Structure 1
Amino acid sequence: MNIVEVTAYRIFGNLVDKKVNNNKYIDIKHQLRKAVIPVPVVQYVSLAYFYSLITGLVIGSIGFYASLVVFSDTGALFVFKDLLPNWIEAYALELMACVQGILIFLIGFYTTYFVYLSIPSLKANIRKTSIDQSLIHVTTYLYAMTRGGGLSLFDIFKSLSNHKHIYGTAAEEFGYIVRDMEFFGHDIITALQNAKLRTPSQNFRELIDGLISILSSGGDITAYLKNKTEQYRSVAKTEQQTFLETLGILAESYVSVFVVAPLFLMTILVVLGLLNPTSILIMYLLIYIAVPFGTMVFLILLDTITSDQQKLPETYVTEKSLNVFDDLHVKFSKLDEELIKKIEFQKRITKIKDSLKHPIHLMRGRPSYAFVLSIPVALFYFLNNIIGRYQFDFNIKLVELSTFNIDFATYIDDYIFYSVLIMIVPFIVFHELRAKRISQIEEQIPEFFKKLASINEAGIMLMDAISMTAQSKVGIIHTEIGKMKEDINWGTNLTQALKKFEYRVRTDLTRRIVTTIIKASESTNDVTSVLNIAANDAEVQKQMKNQRSTEMYVYVFIIYMAFFVYLFIVYILTVHFLSSMPSTMGDSVAGMTMVNSINIEEYEMLFFHASMIQGFCSGLVAGQMGNASINSGLKHSIIMIVSSYALFALLI
């Protein structure tokens, strides 16, 4: 324990321990277990009290001093002066500040206390969602392993727990089952019962209940897991339909709140600008703060409900050396040590040279590396066109920009636009190339493994089946199959060849399938059934992904239509409405003298910036909805901001 935990326990430990003994915090205890937070309930509640006390004291003190300042400056207590006794009147200011400080202390204390105690429940719910999402892949793996035979249930659980990075949180739950059996000496029934009590997921609890019943009665585990796999697939399809309907509601909400509403407010504020010059301040807040911040919050909300898979971890290729004489220490001469250092240095230099010679290949594998080149080029372009070519004036007012500052903002707009294009377009190109490649590979993976299964079913070994499949054209994946065949021909064993194939392709679907096949090939000769199961699972995942993409394109189209309607209204306001507005005091429209003049150039600048910001934000939302990726939304953003720029450059 650190010093904070020790201090909290020493102050509040005895008090909390008495309450725990009276079963007051039994729910917190269960939630801590379900959330896998390795802290005793006494310690956790003590920390809740400690943090609440510190927070209450801090904000209570701030509230006390703030009350002193406010009451003394505003004279708010003067109203009650005649109602107070003389002996209180002299200390009325301090007493009122104390009351305010105590109230703020209590608010801060109890707010922090309840928030801190709700964290385990929140984490347990997040864990529940993650388990439910990965459960379909876990049951498929268990079914494939039991169908192939050759492994005990404990060995299957252990192999599954070794691939948590692939099969997600549900695999972690099986890892705890393995821990109970391997280190705590529990039998499999007891370990499963503990897992049933520990998990926050009702679906996982039902799966464990079924396993306990099958093991207790000696039933067919393979048939049970097959039924559960089909059940979870059916449930996944139903849940996806509900999920798509939810996304549809969110898309319509986004269009209403972040596209139509700002446009409506901007129209009203332009008219109000004729009567009240401060209304333009609201436009600044709306365009530069409300829309970007609101979109960011909306994207976070979308990300929490659309991220249906965990981030793939970094994969490394390790080199193994045969240290047969590792216990014999050989003392190298000075010349040999220098030679070894030179060789290692040359290896690193060669690796860097290869990356520099083939930057396209590097960026196709990792599109984010494109920013290493594009950001410096964009900065150079921007600074080269700004520095020395325009006199800077930083006297920028928020409510009313000077003509000079408007000219300056208009001047740099073009260079900012082109700099953004230079910075983002290379990343978009390489990201889309990689995304297209992954999509095509995942489209062809089921067919590839079905061919392997049919060839293997005819009695041909899996290694030979791969070589035969490489001779037929299987689309874009044909190149990777050919490389796998070359690895096998050069003496690489099947496991290593499949791992290299997985590393090159690098998709979550391929990782799950390859992991299943490798484990099955190591434990049994009946790989055909495992291949069929893996191929069917890949086919189901492909169909669900295609269904989602098809239905989401409708909402992406809606966002595009809403944005272009937005541009059309902005065009009407700028060309036809602003041009008829008075630009000087005393001008009249339709025989009526206006109270205030407007700066047409300033409004045109605001409309231009509003269109660019709206286009960039709408594009990100379209990408998150259509492909569950903000990176995929950058191409939509570029299309929209280019459309905005073209509208203002060519027509306005």
Structure 2
Amino acid sequence: MVTKPTHLETTEPPEPRGSRSDKSNWIRRIDNVAYSIFGDFFKRRKDTTFESIGTSLQQARIPISSDLYLSRIAFVTIICTAVIAVIHLGFAIILGVSGIGATFSSLPAPLDIFVGTVLLLLTSLISTGISLGIGIAYPYTRLSLIISDRKRKIDNMIPFATTYLFALTRGGMDFVEALRTLAESDDAYGEAAKETQSVIQDMDYMSIDLPRAMRRGSQRSASTKFSEFMDDLVAIIDSGADMSPFLESKAEEFLEQNEREQENFLETLALLGEVYVTAFVAGPLFLIIITVVMAMLGGSAITQLYGIVYGLLPMMNVAFFILIDTITIDESKRNRTIYTERVNKSIDEVTDEYKEQIEANSRIQNIIKAKEYRESSEYIREPLSWLLDKPFRTLYITAPIAFLYTLVAIIIQPYPLSFEGLSSFPVETTVTYLLIPLSISLIPFTIFYEITTRRKRKILNRFPDSLKQLASSNSIGLTLTESLRATSDATSGVIGEEFNKVSNDIRWYNNITEALVSFANRIKIAEVARTVKLVTKSNEASGDISGVLDIAAKDVTKRQILRKQRFNEMTMYTVVIIISYVVYLFVIAMLDAAFLSEIAAIKESTAGATSTGAGSSSGFGTNLSSLPIDLFRMVFYHSALLQGLGSGLLAGQLGQNDVRAGIKYAIALMTISTIVFLVI
């Protein structure tokens, strides 16, 4: 379980320079030296020339003053620049004095030393200039990247935060208390909650009134959307209007913005999918065909093919994935658990805490032994649950097996482990030493990942209806505990089982908040975590939370519709990418079967003629018998594997917004390509 930290305490204003306990001693010494040299210079200009740096540091939530930040950067930059200059100057002196540079020049002896020294000095000046340029641009570039990342996260979470505030105020909670609750809920609302913490800190530590604190929060926020939201809230507070209707309309507005942004995002993904098919599938295929034609005309085709298949193709796929990642909010990186006060102590912690009681009480000794046995046998008793909780744990088992298999294969060597063996038996060798170990490692991971994903999808599909049942039960006068029991009895499937566990937790621990938090932490779904956070906080404020449950149910339902819309639209492009790979494989296979097989037949038929001196050019202006058929076949097969890997992973990224979902497609496509090349 996750223990809840004191959020507002961990985000207090930073301690004065020289006493920050979160830094190591050597960083603190660097700061002291840097500030003693450059501090006065930057301090006098912090509110004029370098005012933007201070604002950027606030937006990036870096707890350091602009003068200290710039002093540190300037000091490190000058040290690095001096080191680079000294190294280059040393090389220049050594080469100039020793005359080693004369071996690289055809100039006369006195002149070549002079020219070599000048060139080294020029490169020293250039590298020094580059180092200074990087040092000057670094603070701005780094802050810009951090701010951009925070802006995306805040904009993504602010609709959920607004719904949270609306639900709490609708349930009767004071707005200031609701805002404080949001600030403490960064476990569920991420950067939007952290942005709100600065407002609460201004009120608590600086005794600033709410409107002014919100204006200050608006001015130093990284998100324009959050700033406008704060300004609107200040206007509502100043006018004395009711806050709940405004928050409701704002939540609807943000949801509509999400719909429009998703439409634009889907259009962008659709365009990128078409670009991938055209430039990253058809493009390499066209280059390979051109290279084959050049081979028939006598060009250095095999070297160019190596560059295309083993260099250009992987680089293009990696670049495309980076592009997709920069414009996509990764759902798996959202907070999916909630902080809880309940702590499951390990056997060592329990033994240390109750050491005296254990020695004096045999009953406690038996309990400790039972707990120790339970912990040690957990993986044996419930291995599937352990693996389903985090599918990557399968690699702890499969990776050593794959390694042992590879080791045995290398010792036995059913196919020669050499370049000649790879070119003579490309499919068999690649399958033996690469694909089989890869499959041993990834197939179990994929199976457990898909089981976990489908289970979560079933929970998400039923979750809105379960919330509506809870709201209906609570509206007729049942408490939340009674509503949960009634809903668990009336709900079947995976979500029904989880609600039964919640009811059992309530019976055992008599704590509904901890039971719901444990439910959210077992499920590990961001929407469930946010909803549980909302329900528990509302229940602590008021037992009548039917209105809050209605709001949560509507919000989850609308977002479920958006998620299904994206899934349905992107499934088509997943199919398009897979079909484009099938076309790629078909063309490559035809080149192998028609072109390479035909050349092999020509080589056999002209072998006798070549031995008598007749030779053969087959009308193409080159001797086809000299073409390396085995190398061409190896490169064709490897290109199909690499393209299958890239297309499969991209299909999962586009279809389900998770590259792990594409592993099954990648394995299937690589298996199909292997079968095709074994048959032809």
Residue of structure 1 equivalent to 2:139: 116
Residue identity matched to 1:372? Y
Residue of structure 2 equivalent to 1:414: 431
Residue identity matched to 1:3? R
Residue of structure 2 equivalent to 1:399: none
Given the superposition, is the C-alpha separation of residues 641 and 195 from structure 1 closer, same or farther in structure 2, using an over 3 Å criterion? Answer: same
**Does residue 15 in structure 1 map to residue 41 in structure 2?**
yes
**Does residue 75 in structure 1 map to residue 92 in structure 2?**
no
1:275–1:595 Cα contact (<8 Å) kept: no
**Residues 224-256 of structure 1: per-residue CA shift (max 9 Å, x gap):** 111110000000000000011111121122222
Distance (Å, rounded) in 2 between the aligned partners of 1:607 and 1:96: 45
**Does residue 46 in structure 1 map to residue 71 in structure 2?**
yes
**Does residue 442 in structure 1 map to residue 436 in structure 2?**
no
Given the superposition, is the C-alpha separation of residues 109 and 330 from structure 1 closer, same or farther in structure 2, using an over 3 Å criterion? Answer: closer
**Does residue 227 in structure 1 map to residue 249 in structure 2?**
yes
**Does residue 511 in structure 1 map to residue 529 in structure 2?**
yes
Residue of structure 1 equivalent to 2:15: none
Given the superposition, is the C-alpha separation of residues 97 and 368 from structure 1 closer, same or farther in structure 2, using an over 3 Å criterion? Answer: closer
Pairing of 1:512-531 with structure 2 (within 5 A): 512-531=530-549
How far does residue 340 in structure 1 lie from its aligned partner after superposition? 6.5
Given the superposition, is the C-alpha separation of residues 104 and 330 from structure 1 closer, same or farther in structure 2, using an over 3 Å criterion? Answer: closer
How far does residue 474 in structure 1 lie from its aligned partner after superposition? 4.4
How far does residue 160 in structure 1 lie from its aligned partner after superposition? 1.4
Given the superposition, is the C-alpha separation of residues 148 and 429 from structure 1 closer, same or farther in structure 2, using an over 3 Å criterion? Answer: same
How far does residue 571 in structure 1 lie from its aligned partner after superposition? 0.8
Structure 1 residues 359-368 or 492-501, which shifts more?
Answer: 492-501
Residue of structure 2 equivalent to 1:349: 373
Distance (Å, rounded) in 2 between the aligned partners of 1:548 and 1:481: 29
Residue of structure 2 equivalent to 1:494: 512
Q: 2:572 aligns with which of 554, 565, 572?
A: 554
Distance (Å, rounded) in 1 between the aligned partners of 2:67 and 2:509: 59
Residue of structure 2 equivalent to 1:618: 647
Structure 1 residues 626-635 or 64-73, which shifts more?
Answer: 64-73
Residue of structure 1 equivalent to 2:24: none
Q: 2:149 aligns with which of 111, 116, 126?
A: 126
Pairing of 1:219-298 with structure 2 (within 5 A): 219-274=241-296, 278-298=300-320
1:559–1:622 Cα contact (<8 Å) kept: yes
1:142–1:156 Cα contact (<8 Å) kept: yes
Given the superposition, is the C-alpha separation of residues 649 and 472 from structure 1 closer, same or farther in structure 2, using an over 3 Å criterion? Answer: same
Residue of structure 2 equivalent to 1:177: 199
Residue identity matched to 1:406? S
3-state DSSP class of the match of 2:641? helix
**Residues 3-54 of structure 1: per-residue CA shift (max 9 Å, x gap):** 3323332333343334436x11122221111111122111222233233334
Distance (Å, rounded) in 1 between the aligned partners of 2:355 and 2:89: 72
**Residues 238-291 of structure 1: per-residue CA shift (max 9 Å, x gap):** 000001111112112222232111111122222333455743223223222332
Distance (Å, rounded) in 1 between the aligned partners of 2:402 and 2:148: 44
Pairing of 1:81-160 with structure 2 (within 5 A): 91-149=114-172, 151-160=173-182
Residue identity matched to 2:253? Q
How far does residue 97 in structure 1 lie from its aligned partner after superposition? 2.9
**Does residue 34 in structure 1 map to residue 33 in structure 2?**
no
1:133–1:308 Cα contact (<8 Å) kept: no
Structure 1 residues 8-17 or 128-137, which shifts more?
Answer: 8-17
How far does residue 201 in structure 1 lie from its aligned partner after superposition? 1.1
Structure 1 residues 178-187 or 488-497, which shifts more?
Answer: 488-497
Pairing of 1:423-438 with structure 2 (within 5 A): 423-438=441-456
**Residues 353-400 of structure 1: per-residue CA shift (max 9 Å, x gap):** 132132122212221122222222222333333313458665x5xxxx
Given the superposition, is the C-alpha separation of residues 53 and 537 from structure 1 closer, same or farther in structure 2, using an over 3 Å criterion? Answer: same
Q: 1:370 aligns with which of 394, 412, 421?
A: 394
Structure 1 residues 115-124 or 490-499, which shifts more?
Answer: 490-499
Distance (Å, rounded) in 2 between the aligned partners of 1:312 and 1:288: 38
Given the superposition, is the C-alpha separation of residues 93 and 418 from structure 1 closer, same or farther in structure 2, using an over 3 Å criterion? Answer: closer
Distance (Å, rounded) in 1 between the aligned partners of 2:354 and 2:464: 52
How far does residue 623 in structure 1 lie from its aligned partner after superposition? 1.1
Distance (Å, rounded) in 1 between the aligned partners of 2:630 and 2:182: 65
Distance (Å, rounded) in 1 between the aligned partners of 2:106 and 2:564: 65
3-state DSSP class of the match of 1:588? coil
Structure 2 length-normalised TM:
0.85
**Does residue 5 in structure 1 map to residue 31 in structure 2?**
yes
How far does residue 593 in structure 1 lie from its aligned partner after superposition? 4.0
Q: 1:644 aligns with which of 655, 669, 673?
A: 673
Structure 1 length-normalised TM:
0.89
Residue identity matched to 1:304? T
Distance (Å, rounded) in 2 between the aligned partners of 1:521 and 1:377: 50
Structure 1 residues 225-234 or 199-208, which shifts more?
Answer: 199-208
Residue identity matched to 2:560? K
Distance (Å, rounded) in 1 between the aligned partners of 2:209 and 2:575: 56
2:488–2:499 Cα contact (<8 Å) kept: yes
How far does residue 222 in structure 1 lie from its aligned partner after superposition? 0.7
2:466–2:491 Cα contact (<8 Å) kept: no
Distance (Å, rounded) in 2 between the aligned partners of 1:480 and 1:511: 14
- Count the aligned residue pairs: 628
Distance (Å, rounded) in 2 between the aligned partners of 1:437 and 1:410: 37
How much is the aligned-residue C-alpha RMSD, in angstroms? 3.0
Distance (Å, rounded) in 1 between the aligned partners of 2:510 and 2:357: 36
Residue of structure 2 equivalent to 1:325: none
Residue of structure 2 equivalent to 1:454: 472
Q: 2:500 aligns with which of 457, 471, 482?
A: 482
Residue of structure 1 equivalent to 2:81: 56
Residue of structure 2 equivalent to 1:609: 638
3-state DSSP class of the match of 1:577? helix
**Does residue 303 in structure 1 map to residue 325 in structure 2?**
yes
Residue of structure 2 equivalent to 1:164: 186
Distance (Å, rounded) in 2 between the aligned partners of 1:76 and 1:158: 77
**Residues 447-499 of structure 1: per-residue CA shift (max 9 Å, x gap):** 11111112221222222222222232444312112222333445633223322
